[in-house]
Structure 1
């Protein structure tokens, strides 16, 4: 498990709803493996949850029931994704949502992961406090990162989150005078009150 924040698996789920506790399931996983700040591997698959998704979800994601009927079952996809994660640290935008679904889907197949999660949304609130909001598309525009694909598809969202993450790490590194930003720094940063961020980074 790397101690650097730029060695990480960035992931994103598309789902049937908001909560696995309410019976919602994942319908797509996308992930990008970042090693030393470079995307070196990707994982993407639709997955069949075993029931039809609503018209709202189909419209929101662009994932139809016809597409899902031909997809492998969740268990098969998540078993492969657990192998892909290995012992890497993990990142998502609004990570509490994706972590809930990762935990739930892996619990169905008795698999676990060893890495720790961080959240690009929480970090962005501290590094880009002047952004109009902290949705992924808004932050990419705010940071002048080109985005021309389809949001709400898992691999594209994870790739864009990875680009945002690397921009955030560059800013953190410049403020701290660091070539490599430790994962432990970002884990602490998300707990720092926004008004104290400048002092925290200056003292690191």
Structure 2
């Protein structure tokens, strides 16, 4: 059992007895700050679970939050990390707020990833660590339904981080934009974001950057919502029903 684990056990025991965190003995200032951050993240995720988006709610009224990350590889279990993260709050296809941060990873950004994204280690030297920034990101995305292209990649990194640091995971609703795109235009397939953008002739000058891709996906989602309306898919229930009958 490592020191950090022993600290959590000790602190949680004392808190369960009603001892305020500021009164917990033998806790350094740094440990207290870390513990308070853990409590904050857990509380935020629990509150998010309580938020309910009615299935009969019209799509134009639902706050959809588009997210994207850039990562050093494809496997968080093998040490790959997020080094860029972006999100856009939208309603009825319109951009309402935008979030973007570079993140300083523990390990070097591989050269082939730097060539793809244009982001090198020197660009992130003064950026925060993911542990410093995650609470801001979670706060930004906590009041909507998150969507993205190949969103399982982004969620796998986010949930790996949350599990390793807080023993919790994101449990909110999410949608895979590729599935919605292919449901609308079946039998056509759109395995990449590039093909989806090309279909609607949407430019993306900063492709393979988190903020550039999110900005392009804001426009893509606006076009998708217009097509859903044309197909009389108007509520979240309609959308889930249409997705459920798609051939696998």
Given the superposition, is the C-alpha separation of residues 4 and 43 from structure 1 closer, same or farther in structure 2, using an over 3 Å criterion? farther
C-alpha deviations, 1:149-194, integer Å up to 9, x for none? 2101001111211221221121111111x6xx32333334333224
Q: In 2, distance between residues paired with 1:28 and 1:152?
A: 10
Matches within 5 A, 1:39-54: 39-54=95-110
List runs of 5+ in structure 2 lacking aligned partners. 1-51
Q: Cα distance, 1:48 vs. partner?
A: 1.0
Whether 1:56 aligns to 2:112 is: yes
What's 2:30 paired with? none
Whether 1:193 aligns to 2:246 is: yes
Question: Secondary structure, in 3 states, of the residue corresponding to 2:245?
Answer: coil
Judge conservation of contact 1:10–1:162 (CA < 8 Å) in 2: yes
What's 1:141 paired with? 198
What's 1:200 paired with? none
Q: In 2, distance between residues paired with 1:67 and 1:51?
A: 14
Out of 94, 108, 115, the residue aligned to residue 172 of structure 2 is 115
Q: In 2, distance between residues paired with 1:85 and 1:150?
A: 23
Q: In 2, distance between residues paired with 1:149 and 1:90?
A: 24
Judge conservation of contact 2:181–2:190 (CA < 8 Å) in 1: no
Q: Cα distance, 1:79 vs. partner?
A: 1.3
What's 2:182 paired with? 125
Q: In 1, distance between residues paired with 2:105 and 2:239?
A: 34
Whether 1:182 aligns to 2:235 is: yes
What's 2:148 paired with? 92
What's 1:161 paired with? 217
Out of 102, 113, 121, the residue aligned to residue 65 of structure 1 is 121
- Which structure is higher in RCO with an 8 Å CA cutoff and minimum separation 6? 1
What's 1:29 paired with? 85
Structure index of larger Rg: 2
Q: In 1, distance between residues paired with 2:58 and 2:68?
A: 21
Given the superposition, is the C-alpha separation of residues 106 and 187 from structure 1 closer, same or farther in structure 2, using an over 3 Å criterion? farther
TM-score, normalised to structure 2, is: 0.70
Write 1 or 2 for the structure with the bigger share of helix. Answer: 2
Judge conservation of contact 1:90–1:118 (CA < 8 Å) in 2: yes
Given the superposition, is the C-alpha separation of residues 13 and 5 from structure 1 closer, same or farther in structure 2, using an over 3 Å criterion? farther
Out of 138, 147, 157, the residue aligned to residue 101 of structure 1 is 157
Number of paired residues? Answer: 191
Question: Any runs of at least 4 consecutive aligned residues in structure 1 with deviations exceeding 4 A, and if so which?
Answer: 111-114
List runs of 5+ in structure 1 lacking aligned partners. 196-204
